[in-house]
């Protein structure tokens, strides 16, 4: 998402917990001449000061945090007052949610929602 935003003139910062994905995003930004910045980080502990961003968005990233309420608090914390927080998530009632419900009966660690 940060690459798309940067292509459209946005001063964008992207994070992911996976170092390999951050390295790939940095390389794509370099090849395309984009100024987007990327950081390896955990959605439950973002390395940014309070109210750093005008828009905070997660595209199927924060939804995988083991403690979604902590990730949500972090997204709100780094967004300025009056800013926008947007998320793309799979819902429990959609096809992906139904698939995960079935699979979780067989593989989910004890206590994980």
Segments making up each domain of the chain, as ranges: 1-41, 45-113
Q: Are 22 and 39 in contact (CB under 8 A)?
A: yes
Q: Is the pLDDT of residue 19 over 90?
A: yes
Q: Which residue has the higher pLDDT, 45 or 91?
A: 45
Q: Is the pLDDT of residue 95 over 80?
A: yes
The pTM score is 0.79
Strand positions, DSSP E, 1-113: 13-16, 37-40, 53-59, 79-88
Q: Are 14 and 34 in contact (CB under 8 A)?
A: no
pLDDT of residue 113: 62
Q: Which residue, 20, 12, 1, 103, is CA-closest to 61?
A: 1
pLDDT of residue 105: 81
The average pLDDT across 83-88 equals 95
The average pLDDT across 17-41 equals 97
Cα–Cα dist 57/48, whole Å: 14
């Amino acid at each position: 998402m940060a690459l798309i935003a940067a292509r459209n003139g946005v001063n964008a910062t992207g994070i992911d917990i996976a170092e390999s994905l951050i390295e790939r995003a940095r390389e794509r930004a370099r090849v395309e001449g984009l100024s987007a910045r990327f950081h390896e980080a955990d959605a439950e502990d973002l390395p940014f000061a309070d109210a750093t961003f005008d828009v905070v968005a997660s595209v199927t990233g924060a939804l995988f945090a083991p403690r979604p309420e902590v990730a949500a608090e972090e997204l709100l914390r780094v967004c300025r007052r009056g800013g926008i927080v947007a998320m793309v998530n799979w819902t429990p009632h959609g096809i992906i949610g139904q698939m995960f419900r079935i699979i979780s009966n067989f593989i989910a660690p004890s206590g994980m929602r």
